[in-house]
Structure formats: C-alpha cells, structure tokens
Structure 1
Amino acid sequence: MPVTPPRLALVASPTDRAQEAEAELRKSHDWADLEQADIVVALGGDGFMLQVLHTMLETERVRPVYGLNLGTVGFLMNRHKSSRTLEERVARARSIAVSPLWMEATTNGGTVTTSWAINEVSLLRETRQTAKLEIVVNGKVRIPELSCDGVLVATPAGSTAYNLSANGPILPLGSKMLALTPISPFRPRRWHGAILPDNAEIIFRARESVKRPVSVVADQTEVRDISEVRVRAWPEHELTLLFDKGKSLDERIFAEQFMV
C-alpha cells in the first residue's frame, strides 16, 4: 500500500522576508490547517521557532517542526533554498528530541509565575548592585552565596546561545545534561559553573533581594524582583525538531566546538 505523506501546516514570522516566502509557498503547496497537521513548517528565525514551540507546549498539541531560516542566525532552522522540493526535504529530515525546562519563579511579593524554556533560564541583576544568590541542587546547598551579574541554566539545545557567550560548556544533544553557568562571577572567583544531570532540581534564592533586585528570564518570559526560582528539565513534554540530513542540530553543536 502507498504511504500517505504527512499533512503539513505553514506558519510564518511577521517579518517582510518571512511573509513574502509564505505567500510564495502558499501558491505551490497544499497545506493543512494547523489543528489537523502532522508536521509544522515554520518560516522565520530562531526567535520565531521558540515562539512556535512555546505555543505547542502551552496548548499541549505538540508536533514535529521543520524550520526554514528567514531570520539571522537560524541555529534551529534549515536553509531556505534547496534543490529538493519541500516535501522531499521534510520526508528525508532527521528528527532531534529536545526536552524543555520548567521554571517556577516567586517574587518578593509572593506572586508565583511558571513558564517553559527551551534554551535557558537566566537570573540577572536589575541594578548596579551585584546579585547575591544561593544555589541549591537536589535539596542541598551547593553555593551559599554567589556574587555575580547573574547565573543561567541551559539545555543542550540552548547551550550554544547565551550559555556559550557566558563561557559555559557546549552540551551534545542526547547527553541528558544541563549547563549551570555563572554570568560575570565575583565571588567565589574560581567557580566556573557545573554540568548537571537533567533530572536535577535547581533552586536559586536571591539574598538581600530588596536591596539587590534580581529578574529571571525563561526564553522570552521575564519576571522581576524575584526571591526564589525553581528549575528542572521536563522530558515528559519532549519537543521534536526536523533537520536536513548532515545539517542537524547535534552536528551544528559538534561543529561549534571546533570553530576558531
């Protein structure tokens, strides 16, 4: 019996480039409604890809996503132009599983905010005052007081983003690890971060949080004046990205480690 091809839905960033590409693709392909689709084709950059993935997590309608880069860096995307048809590229694509982070932030006023993060959760000082943070891993205080500009927890998929800029380690996909990386640490000077298993629960407590206010950012969600933040990976809500063969995310992560 012939194999039924997957039903594709098309979504696009509001940028001019993405909108022009969407109009062109609408004419040359048959597209399914988003609700009935098996695979989502996303036109845009990494920021738009994160937006699409977050929407899936919030609606619990998770489907594989094949991205076409019409942004800038496009680390999570595929090249826009190819000699193959879009259907061929999607059919031949390799799937990569990505486990998001789950963040729960409590403010000084007691308000609790939860959010997903696919790249990283980062804590940052809000003023000129250095942040002072207590770091707890799996119920044990590992650093009683970290004086710094901030600290972040990155997934393997996000380890080449802000984490790499903060001199954190690049994590291969499938490593089931998280990068815990300080941002401009002052005390203790010799602590450069840690690599943790992705079943670890990490708690950050802001010390002197009124005098030294701290914000937390989970990808694109920011909460200010926090007193405590809990972070853990959530493999039960695994996401799937599709990449052209030889251009998959794990190959890009591997290649980043040899760039000079």
Structure 2
Amino acid sequence: MYEKIAFVASRSEIAQKAMERLCLRYGQTDPDGADVIVALGGDGHMLHTLHATEALPAPVYGMNCGTIGFLMNEFQEDNLIDRLEAAEVARINPLSMEARTTGGQTFRALAINEVSLLRAGPQAAKLRISVDGRVRMDELVCDGAMVATPAGSTAYNYSANGPILPIGAEVLALTAMAAFRPRRWRGALLPKNASVRFDVLEHEKRPVMSDADGQSVREVASVTVQSEPSITHRILFDPGHGLEERLIQEQFT
C-alpha cells in the first residue's frame, strides 16, 4: 500500500503549484519515511530525484509538469492512490563514471542515462577506447562519445544516431558523436558488465570534458565507465505506458 507519499517538485511554477494542491489532497511525508516518492516536473527533475533518493527503499513515480517526460506519467490529480497501486515497476542499474583529470585528480559519479565525453575546444577530440582492458580502437577522432543504458538510449544516445535498446536488454550502447575517423563510425553494443575506458590523446591540444547526467568534469585524461549493479532504481509507470512500451513506440514515431 502506498499510503505515505513524498511529493518533490521542480522549481517551475507549474510543478510547485501542482505540489501544493496534491499535498493538500493526499498529505505530505518526508522522503525518508515515505512508501513512494512522486516527482513533479520533467525528465531532468526525475533524474535529479532518482539520484537524490537512491539510498531510500521507496520507488519513484513521476508526473509530467515539464516539457520532456519520457520517464514521467501523465499528470492527473484524481485517483493517484489507485494509479500507484496499479503501476508497473521498471528496475534500472545506473552507470558509474570514474574520471581522472590531467592534473591527477579522480572524480566519481553515477548516471542513469549516459556517461559522455565531449570536446572542450575548437578541435575534435582524439580518444583511445578499451573494453575490459583490451584496446578496441587505437584512435577515434570525433566530437565525443558516450556509453548509454537502455533507459537512456532514447535520450542523447538516440540524437547521436545510437540504437534504442529494449529496457530488459543486458547491453550498453557505445555511440560516437560526429565521428570523423573512422569515418561515420556508429559505435558498438557491449555486454552490460563490460568496463569501457576512454583515454584522451593529445589532451593539451584537444581538451575533453566528461559528463554523467549533468555532473561534469573538465580536462579529463581518462574515463572509465561500467554498470553499477549494487544500485537499483525502481521507477513506477501506469499500466501499458512503461519504459518497454515507450521504447517500442519511440521507434515507430
């Protein structure tokens, strides 16, 4: 039973006013003691909520009060308890990013959608790609590259012409952005447990930054990406509108 609800809203006026009405109608509980967390906003707010509550046992149910809502359900004030009880659960493991800078510092972050490397100057980046300790590409000249989860495969990955992955697929998408050499290289599909390392070549001349769901690191020398099985996000969707169905629909629109 989802009796104790914690509402969290983005800063937008629409989301804030929606939270006020919902709190009056259903009550408000602190996330630490909630049965379910209801996120009000768009996909950006949903990702923020998932990261902020990853240590809590409550699942997250999103309602779209923003512009993009691939991870969200339709906003509706009525029958919220019934919708929560009937919701389908999607379980997602995030990616872990370990980025080492040219100055020798190490930064770690988690990403639900993707970890990306992007050129941070006027010249294309040069990357060496290794998978599970074996060099698979000596030199990729590009605007950037990313590793995406199935949940994130319709986001930045898809915009870069990467594949859409079924939500239950035990694979990750390795996708290049504007690959120059090898010409038009589209990337690869890798096992979910693969460890991907990017080494930045000529980093002084061709600086590169890395990003994990909005957590950015500049002047990186190397980045290692792999799935993090110790963390599982539980996202609730209305019946018939779960991630698996949305991923299929996205390919026919």
Whether the 8 Å contact between 1:102 and 1:115 is mirrored in structure 2 is yes
**In structure 1, the residue corresponding to 2:53 is in which secondary structure?**
helix
Find the aligned partners of 1:38 and 1:230 in 2 and give their Cα distance.
35
Residues 1:72 and 2:67 are matched in the alignment = yes
Find the aligned partners of 2:189 and 2:198 in 1 and give their Cα distance.
16
1:64 alignment partner AA: P
Whether the 8 Å contact between 2:2 and 2:36 is mirrored in structure 1 is no
Q: After TM superposition, give the deviation of residue 81 of structure 1 in Å.
A: 2.2
Find the aligned partners of 1:258 and 1:9 in 2 and give their Cα distance.
35
Change (3 A) 1:15 1:230: same
Number of equivalenced pairs: 253
Percent of residue pairs identical? 50
Find the aligned partners of 1:81 and 1:29 in 2 and give their Cα distance.
13
Q: How does 1:1-260 map to 2 (within 5 A)?
A: 4-57=1-54, 60-81=55-76, 85-259=79-253
TM-score by length of 1: 0.95
Change (3 A) 1:62 1:187: farther
Q: What stretches of structure 2 of length at least 5 have no aligned partner?
A: none
Find the aligned partners of 1:104 and 1:149 in 2 and give their Cα distance.
20
Q: After TM superposition, give the deviation of residue 26 of structure 1 in Å.
A: 1.2
Q: After TM superposition, give the deviation of residue 30 of structure 1 in Å.
A: 2.5
Whether the 8 Å contact between 2:150 and 2:167 is mirrored in structure 1 is yes
2:90 alignment partner AA: I
Q: After TM superposition, give the deviation of residue 189 of structure 1 in Å.
A: 1.1
Whether the 8 Å contact between 1:63 and 1:239 is mirrored in structure 2 is no
Which aligned segments of 4 or more residues in structure 1 are displaced greater than 3 angstroms?
none
Q: After TM superposition, give the deviation of residue 7 of structure 1 in Å.
A: 2.1
TM-score by length of 2: 0.97
Change (3 A) 1:5 1:211: closer
